């Protein structure tokens, strides 16, 4: 896959400049012992707060109520990207509007919230950007106590081109806190590196919301990020709010799934999930109502149950705040499954107490390259499902749901390396779906589109990868 060079059409991308171009802007150099409160009173739109290079150990920095402007943000940056290193019990907090944080390193920190986009319960960050920063825990450092590396509050903030790697302590790596109004944050072009197994809950890489606010809108976009061996727990991404979008992310060898744990009306579109035959690697887990899972490519995944390529949970009859909501009205369409241990698992954890099966879902135009594996595993018979135009190549002709598939023969090996069509497209023609006008490459589907995640006339897009995600100043 080629790396991504396309600019992002996002409302803050054009207005944030790391270097100030206004002739009357001021630079304020600070050291670990600087009087931050006194400094903040001086800073105006367009100014830069420049941190001296060196190790900032056990530093507590609070930049309160900064007032940048759309065309003149206030910048908090390293004097040289990557040369300002926060360590120990350091914490940085900021609030206000139109603020850019750039080029900072947080290494082997051990504080409950390392970087926080608020300074008070009523003072959050809005229209701000965290970019080119590095959050890392080295192998020689103690695991530490429970912590969150980045807590995102407020609205319309962006986190981009950062690296998060090596976290061994309990606590979500990046948390989006959801309030009464939608967040409209964007998380893009970040490198989420190896997170070893924690052995208990609290090892998520990203969490958007909490159980208590699951019915509220977040409307956060997670796009063009690279996830590598994020194995902290079964939920690599834990969605706990409504209306979020996950698109064009790459998950490599992640032992877990992008989990729609709470909330409704989320879209998981045009992502790549590659397990490389590693144990426990999964795709998408669906809980709740009206989710859309389209145009995804699932390959060589070896998880099952909650870590299947795509799983739908059974629910208890009475939904609790921290329980499971019934799966209802999901659309699962134009996905491609290649050599996955279980491509689709329905009614996971069905039991006498958890007896509400998924219902009223549409499963359309998916392509299953199952080989020796079963395309489906059904634990509880769903009701009101609409199955149409699903094609499969499978050696197991006894699988449940077999009558919902159209069989085709092709060489499995040709489908293993990329989402491109493995067989002549005229054998896989399906009707167009109004809900799925584009394919995995964001190309408009042709009038006679084909089954699976990619249209036969589509041109491959530039995908984010390990070499082209994270801080721009890190040597590759």
For residue 12, what pLDDT is reported?
42
For residue 412, what pLDDT is reported?
45
Number of CB atoms found within 10 A of residue 338's CB: 26
For residue 290, what pLDDT is reported?
98
Give percent of the chain above pLDDT 90: 78
**What does the alpha-carbon distance between residue 384 and residue 363 come to, in Å, rounded to a whole number?**
11
CA 345 vs CA 260, 303, 349: distances in Å: 15, 11, 10
The model's pLDDT over 247-270, given as tens digits with 9 standing for 90+, comes to 999 999 999 999 999 999 999 999
Give the chain's radius of gyration (CA, Å): 23
DSSP state letter for 140: T
The model's pLDDT over 74-119, given as tens digits with 9 standing for 90+, comes to 999 999 999 999 999 999 999 999 999 999 999 999 999 999 999 9
Q: Lowest-pLDDT range, 124-138, 174-188, 406-420?
A: 406-420
CA 461 vs CA 334, 464, 468: distances in Å: 17, 10, 14
Tokens of 475: 């040597």
Given a cut of 50, is residue 4 above it in pLDDT?
no
**What does the alpha-carbon distance between residue 153 and residue 179 come to, in Å, rounded to a whole number?**
9
**What does the alpha-carbon distance between residue 269 and residue 217 come to, in Å, rounded to a whole number?**
18
Q: How are beta strands 118-120 and 331-333 bridged, if at all?
A: unpaired
The model's pLDDT over 147-177, given as tens digits with 9 standing for 90+, comes to 999 999 999 999 999 999 999 999 999 999 9
Domain extents in the chain = 161-427
CATH number for the segment(s) 161-427: 2.160.20.10
For residue 314, what pLDDT is reported?
97
Q: If we measure between CA atoms, which residue out of 271, 323, 317 comes closest to residue 292?
A: 271
Q: Phi-psi bin for 143: left (phi > 0), alpha (psi -120 to 50), beta?
A: alpha
Cα angle at 440 between 437 and 444, to 5 degrees? 35
Output 438-445 pairs: Cβ under 8 A, ≥24 positions apart. Answer: 438/270, 438/295, 439/270, 439/295, 439/334, 440/270, 440/272, 440/295, 440/296, 440/297, 441/270, 442/248, 442/270
The model's pLDDT over 10-61, given as tens digits with 9 standing for 90+, comes to 434 333 444 434 457 999 999 999 999 999 999 999 999 999 999 999 999 9
Mean pLDDT, the chain, integer: 90
The residue-averaged pLDDT of 264-279 equals 97
- Residue 414's Cβ-side half-sphere holds a number of Cα atoms within 13 Å equal to 9
């Amino acid at each position: 896959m080629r790396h991504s060079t396309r600019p992002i059409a996002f409302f803050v991308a054009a207005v944030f400049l790391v270097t100030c171009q206004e002739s009357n802007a001021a630079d304020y150099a600070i050291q670990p012992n600087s009087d931050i409160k006194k400094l903040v009173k001086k800073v105006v739109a367009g100014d830069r707060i420049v941190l001296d290079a060196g190790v900032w150990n056990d530093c507590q920095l609070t930049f309160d109520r900064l007032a940048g402007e759309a065309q003149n943000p206030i910048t908090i940056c390293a004097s040289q990207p990557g040369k300002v290193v926060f360590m120990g019990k350091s914490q940085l907090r900021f609030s206000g509007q139109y603020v850019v944080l750039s080029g900072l390193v947080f290494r082997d920190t051990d504080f409950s919230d390392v970087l926080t986009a608020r300074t008070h319960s009523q003072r959050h960050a809005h229209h701000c950007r965290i970019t080119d920063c590095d959050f890392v825990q080295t192998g020689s450092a103690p695991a530490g106590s429970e912590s969150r590396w980045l807590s995102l509050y407020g609205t319309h903030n962006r986190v981009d081109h950062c690296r998060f790697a090596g976290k061994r302590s309990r606590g979500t790596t990046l948390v989006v806190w959801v309030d009464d109004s939608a967040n409209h944050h964007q998380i893009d072009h970040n490198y989420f590196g190896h997170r070893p197994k924690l052995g208990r809950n609290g090892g998520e890489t990203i969490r958007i919301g909490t159980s208590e606010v699951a019915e509220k809108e977040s409307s956060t976009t997670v796009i063009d990020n690279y996830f590598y061996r994020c194995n902290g727990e079964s939920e690599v991404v834990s969605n706990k709010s409504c209306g979020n979008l996950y698109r064009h992310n790459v998950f490599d060898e992640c032992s877990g799934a992008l989990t729609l744990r709470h909330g409704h009306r989320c879209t998981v579109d045009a992502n790549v999930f590659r397990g490389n035959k590693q144990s426990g690697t999964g795709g998408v887990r669906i809980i709740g109502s009206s989710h859309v899972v389209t145009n995804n490519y699932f390959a060589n995944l070896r998880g099952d149950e909650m870590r299947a390529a795509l799983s739908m949970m059974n629910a208890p009859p009475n939904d609790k705040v921290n329980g499971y909501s019934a799966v209802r009205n999901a659309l699962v369409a134009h996905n491609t499954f290649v050599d996955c241990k279980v491509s689709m698992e329905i009614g996971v954890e069905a039991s006498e107490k958890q007896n509400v099966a998924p219902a009223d879902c549409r499963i359309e135009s998916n392509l299953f390259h199952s080989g020796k594996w079963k395309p489906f595993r059904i634990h509880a018979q769903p009701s009101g499902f609409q199955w149409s135009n699903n094609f499969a190549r499978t050696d197991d002709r006894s699988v449940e749901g077999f009558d919902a598939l159209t069989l085709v023969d092709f060489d499995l090996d040709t489908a293993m390396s990329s989402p491109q069509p493995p067989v002549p497209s005229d054998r896989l023609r399906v009707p167009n779906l109004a809900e799925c006008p584009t394919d995995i490459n964001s190309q408009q589907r042709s009038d006679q589109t084909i089954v699976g995640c990619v249209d036969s006339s589509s041109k491959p897009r530039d995908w984010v990868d390990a070499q082209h995600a994270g801080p721009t100043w890190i040597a590759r």
